[in-house]
């Protein structure tokens, strides 16, 4: 491999598509504060995802903070998965919430049956924050039914799930609130950006106020923050959205290529709940153990391939958490010790897939 093969590569639009939107922005000299490109992007995304109550934000983390705030969870105990990117937890901690880690199931998502057990034991838990990890669906039926039964708000961190669907609708359409990240590393992006999705006009109005400091003109309504997306970021999104289905299709084919190349190796995969159409944005594999994962990483790096240990460590083990929060989550800790995400993006060449499989096979043979 001439160039190092990284875990992903940011997708770029045709220059002329982006530049022509930039020309419009320059002509209008309107750069932010809910400008025309942001509103156009929100409309286009709502149509693409089938989610009419969608608000664009400047990243997925602030989108999550808005969702937690508007769900009334600031300062409260929130059940959360330990197996996710650290931003899921950071958003919660910045709002003064106390995380209650619930271990995961073989799909690597928050376990509904362990959640039920915890809710029975702790009546202070005020809400649930689950993650569609790698864009693969949680058990939305079980989580939805349980939260409904207990009257708890259910928030989905769908940061990685753009383009994933379940039972015929976007994964972003589940939960009381759902957020997505539009970071440059995502299958659809705005360089930095994100969105929050809800289900009613009133909730959308609240989110929209909170996104921009909580005021309209001189009238101040609520506590707000700056979570606004800029026009230039929205322009990137508008120019990338039309190519997103083609990107997902390329990733689907690369998944098949990986599946074929890795067939027969001693690897495990997260289980997938039924009825979902995945966006194929990640290719996670579970090595037999932690030592084997390190051997695999070394072998892959020697071959010029740089996968990532997404998501290590399990968040319940983070050193800066209060001791009481650091309760054991054996399934998540085990997965975090041996998971590896192989490179995955539309432009990835099939010879990189073949080279990755060869390096993995060597590592698994213990060479
Ligand atoms: N919740 C979940 C479940 C999330 O996964 C995330 C974000 C969030 C919440 C928060 O959303 P945001 O606030 O970020 O919108 C990356 C991303 O920075 C982060 O957005 C993402 N999850 C996380 C899973 O991955 P790093 O530290 O791994 O990124 P980095 O800089 O190492 O980039 C990874 C690879 O991407 C590079 O090796 C090459 C490629 N790359 C990266 C950049 C920045 C490019 O090709 N071009 C680029 O411009 O965190």
Q: What is the whole-number distance in angstroms between the Cα of residue 185 and the centre of ligand 1?
A: 5
Nearest ligand 1 atom to alpha carbon 185:
36
Residue 272 exposure: Cα atoms within 13 Å on the Cβ side: 16
> CA separation (Å) from 76 to 27, 43, 118, 322?
46, 33, 15, 15
Q: What is the whole-number distance in angstroms between the Cα of residue 165 and the centre of ligand 1?
A: 22
- What is the mean pLDDT of the segment spanning 324-350? 97
Q: What is the whole-number distance in angstroms between the Cα of residue 140 and the centre of ligand 1?
A: 25
Q: Ligand 1 pocket, 81 CB below 6 A?
A: no
Helix (H, G, I), strand (E, B) or coil at 254: helix
Q: Ligand 1 pocket, 198 CB below 6 A?
A: no
- The DSSP call for residue 317 is G
215, two tokens: 């005021």
User: How confident is the prediction for the chain on average, in pLDDT?
Assistant: 97
CA torsion sign, 205 to 210 to 211 to 212? positive
Question: What is the predicted pLDDT for the residue at 134?
Answer: 98
- What is the mean pLDDT of the segment spanning 328-337? 98
Question: What is the predicted pLDDT for the residue at 272?
Answer: 79
- Label residue 367 by pLDDT band (50, 70, 90): low
The Cα–Cα gap between 300 and 318 comes to 27
Regarding pTM above 0.75, the answer is yes
Domain 243-364 has CATH 3.40.50.300: no
198-256 pLDDT, tens digit each: 999 999 999 999 999 999 999 999 999 999 999 999 999 999 999 999 999 999 999 99
Of the listed ranges 122-136, 181-195, 264-278, the least confidently predicted one is 264-278
Name the residue of 110, 185, 344, 348 to mutate for ligand 1: max ligand atoms within 8 A of Cβ. 185
Angle, to 10 degrees, between the axis of helix 15-28 and the axis of helix 231-240?
150
| Atom 29 of ligand 1: nearest residue by CA position | 185
Which residues, other chains included, contact 336 with Cβ-Cβ below 8 Å and sequence gap of 6+?
Answer: 83, 309, 311, 312, 313, 314
50-66 pLDDT, tens digit each: 999 999 999 999 999 99
- Label residue 182 by pLDDT band (50, 70, 90): very high
Fold match, 15-242 / 243-364: no
- Label residue 2 by pLDDT band (50, 70, 90): confident
Where are the chain's structural domains? Answer: 15-242, 243-364
- What is the mean pLDDT of the segment spanning 340-347? 98
Q: What is the whole-number distance in angstroms between the Cα of residue 182 and the centre of ligand 1?
A: 10
Q: What is the whole-number distance in angstroms between the Cα of residue 186 and the centre of ligand 1?
A: 7
CB 199 within 8 A of CB 154: no
Q: What is the whole-number distance in angstroms between the Cα of residue 256 and the centre of ligand 1?
A: 24
Q: Which fold has domain 15-242?
A: 3.40.640
Q: What is the whole-number distance in angstroms between the Cα of residue 207 and the centre of ligand 1?
A: 24
Q: Ligand 1 pocket, 190 CB below 6 A?
A: no
256-291 pLDDT, tens digit each: 999 999 999 999 999 977 889 999 999 999 999 999
Nearest ligand 1 atom to alpha carbon 64:
9
| Atom 30 of ligand 1: nearest residue by CA position | 185
Q: Ligand 1 pocket, 157 CB below 6 A?
A: yes
318 burial via Cβ count (<10 Å: 0-12, 13-18, 19+): middle
Q: What is the whole-number distance in angstroms between the Cα of residue 102 and the centre of ligand 1?
A: 24
């Amino acid at each position: 491999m001439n160039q190092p093969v990284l875990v992903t590569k940011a997708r770029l639009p045709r220059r002329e598509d982006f530049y022509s939107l930039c020309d419009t922005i320059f002509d209008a000299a309107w750069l932010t504060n809910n400008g025309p490109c942001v509103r156009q992007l929100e409309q286009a995304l709502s149509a693409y995802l089938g989610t009419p109550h969608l608000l664009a934000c400047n990243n997925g983390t602030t989108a999550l903070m808005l969702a937690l705030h508007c769900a009334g969870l600031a300062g409260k105990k929130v059940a959360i998965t330990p197996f996710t990117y650290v931003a899921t937890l950071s958003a919660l901690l910045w709002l003064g919430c106390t995380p209650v880690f619930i271990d995961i199931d073989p799909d690597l998502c928050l376990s509904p049956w362990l959640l039920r057990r915890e809710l029975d034991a702790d009546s202070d838990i005020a809400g649930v924050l689950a993650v569609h990890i790698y864009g693969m669906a949680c058990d939305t039926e079980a989580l939805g039914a349980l939260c409904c039964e207990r009257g708890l708000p259910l928030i989905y961190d769908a940061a990685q799930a753009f383009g994933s669907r379940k039972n015929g609708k976007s994964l972003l359409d589940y939960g009381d609130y759902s957020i997505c990240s539009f970071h440059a590393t995502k299958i659809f992006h705005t360089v930095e950006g994100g969105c929050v999705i809800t289900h009613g006009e009133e909730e959308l109005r609240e989110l929209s106020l909170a996104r921009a400091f909580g005021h309209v003109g001189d009238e101040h309504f609520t506590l707000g923050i700056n979570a606004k997306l800029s026009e230039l970021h929205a322009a990137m999104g508008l120019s990338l959205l039309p190519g997103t289905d083609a990107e997902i299709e390329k990733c689907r084919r690369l998944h098949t290529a990986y599946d074929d190349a890795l067939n027969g190796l001693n690897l495990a995969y997260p289980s997938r709940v039924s009825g979902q159409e995945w966006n194929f944005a990640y290719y996670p594999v579970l090595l037999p153990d932690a030592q084997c994962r390190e051997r695999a990483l070394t072998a892959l790096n020697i071959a010029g391939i740089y996968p990532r240990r997404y998501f290590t460590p399990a968040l319940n083990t983070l050193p800066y958490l209060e001791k009481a929060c650091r309760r054991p989550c054996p399934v998540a800790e085990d997965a975090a010790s041996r998971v590896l995400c192989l490179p995955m993006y539309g432009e990835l060449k099939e010879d990189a897939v073949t080279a990755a499989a060869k390096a993995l096979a060597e590592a698994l043979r213990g060479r």
